[in-house]
Amino acid sequence: MTCVTRAIAPWLALATTLACAAPIAGEPLEPEKAFPVTATLAPGGIDLGFTIADGYYLYGDRFRVDVVPPGLPLGRIRIPRGEAKDDPFLGKTEILRHRALLHLPFTAKAPPGTYALRVTAQGCAEDRVCYSPFTQVVRVSVPPTP
Amino acid sequence: MSARLFFAGVGVLALLAGTALWVGTRSIEPPGATVPADANPAALYTASFSDLQGQSRALGQFQGKVVVLNFWATWCAPCREEMPGFVKLQERWKDRNVQFVGIANDEREKVRRFGDELRINYPLWTGGPEVMDLSRRLGNRLGVLPHTVILDSGGRVVDSRVGVYREGPLEERLGALTAKRS
């Protein structure tokens, strides 16, 4: 029995590797599960952290953030460098995989309060489907400064 | 003994690799793709879009034909992958009462350029957010692209699929549908 196991083990390992390398099948994930985002108050602004599921990616130039209620003095969103992708129609673009930390800088002192950030992004499941722009709402609290 | 084990290993490998290949390449079919209550033929036929000249268009102009309605976007790579197959099918099925239509929530000029580059031989229409609203109501729960819906000649939804619809399976579906009519 041990002999049989020992003989088949390498084949099983190889087969498992092949199976893992195959594209992910089944229904695509909900956008909130494929690209969940969190908001954290950071020095000088707000960090938006995306966790991107394996086999999925976000377009680096397709983010938008709206704040409710308005009043947070936010500058231009800073997006990390991504993986270059040469798209036959879109040309050179950048995509983000696995984890992406975006930063929204404050341009002035932020008034204290709790804010809802409506974060819109766009991405795809590699070679399968692309998501039309989807919005997630995250909250962040700015404490009063002493 | 060792030869037997070797072939057993090859067998296991072939089985698992075959399974992986099948799972990885099959079409994504939304389980029980839903047909919405308001997706009756009249509602579908009157939904209005713009053609590439800016003229208002509605699916009602294809009443009596089998319509392959493809929701897509210029930024969607998988959409672009399936469209050359649609071009071939439109050519092969044009005299058999089948009409393809592409609908995108996208800029008209981008869609026009795309259509020219890929020599798309069927109408490409554009619209606003109502495009994805319609797609969702036709069974695209996640709002993903591409999404392809087939309407029979009476405007009833007979297929709704997200992901790349390959030429072979789509042609089979069209064959079954048109055979049913005759």
Determine the Cα–Cα distance for residues B147 and B68; give it in Å rounded to an integer: 10
Q: Is the dihedral angle over the CA atoms A127, A131, A133, A137 positive or is it negative? A: negative
Least confidently predicted of B100-104, B164-168, B174-178:
B174-178
Least confidently predicted of A121-135, B16-30, B125-139:
B16-30
Residue pair A78/A105 in contact (Cβ under 8 Å)? The answer is yes
User: pLDDT value at position A15?
Assistant: 45
The 3-class secondary structure across B38-74, one letter per residue, is: CCCHHHHHHCEEECCCCCEEEHHHHCCCEEEEEEECC
Token reading at B112: 């026009």
Res B32 pLDDT > 50: no
In this predicted model, what pLDDT tens digit does every residue of B58-96 receive, in sequence order? 999 999 999 999 999 998 999 999 999 999 999 999 999
Would you say how long chain A is, in residues? 146
CATH number of A27-142: 2.60.40.1250
Is residue B35 very low, low, confident or very high in pLDDT (cuts 50, 70, 90)?
Answer: very low
Q: Which residue of A has its CA nearest to B118?
A: A89
Show which residues on chain B lie within 8 Å of chain A, measured between beta carbons: 1-2, 5-6, 8-10, 12-13, 15-17, 19-21, 23-26, 28, 30-31, 73-81, 105, 114, 117, 132, 142-146, 162-164
What is the domain partition of chain A in residue ranges?
A: 27-142
The answer for residues whose C-beta is within 8 angstroms of residue A12's C-beta and 6 or more apart is B12, B16
Taking the alpha carbons at both ends of chain A, their separation in whole angstroms is 72
User: pLDDT value at position A23?
Assistant: 39
DSSP string of B71-86, one letter each residue? EE-TT-HHHHHHHHHH
Average of per-residue pLDDT across B15-22: 43
Per DSSP, helices labelled H in chain B are 2-25, 41-46, 77-93, 108-117, 130-137, 167-181
Which domains does chain B possess? Answer: 29-181 (3.40.30.10)
Q: Which chain B residues are within 8 Å of A130, Cβ to Cβ?
A: 73, 75-79, 144-145
Is residue B45 very low, low, confident or very high in pLDDT (cuts 50, 70, 90)?
Answer: confident
Of A8, A25, A125, the CB nearest to B26: A25
Beta-sheet strand order (sheet of A64-68): A64-68, A113-121, A134-142
Place of tokens 């099983």: A12
Determine the Cα–Cα distance for residues A136 and B169; give it in Å rounded to an integer: 36
Is residue B3 very low, low, confident or very high in pLDDT (cuts 50, 70, 90)?
Answer: low
In this predicted model, what pLDDT tens digit does every residue of B153-174 receive, in sequence order? 999 999 999 999 999 999 999 9
Q: Which chain A residues are within 8 Å of B142, Cβ to Cβ?
A: 27-28, 30-31, 129, 131
The pTM of this model reads 0.76
In this predicted model, what pLDDT tens digit does every residue of A40-63 receive, in sequence order? 999 999 999 999 999 999 999 999
Res A21 pLDDT > 50: no
Q: How far is CA B74 from the centre of its chain?
A: 15
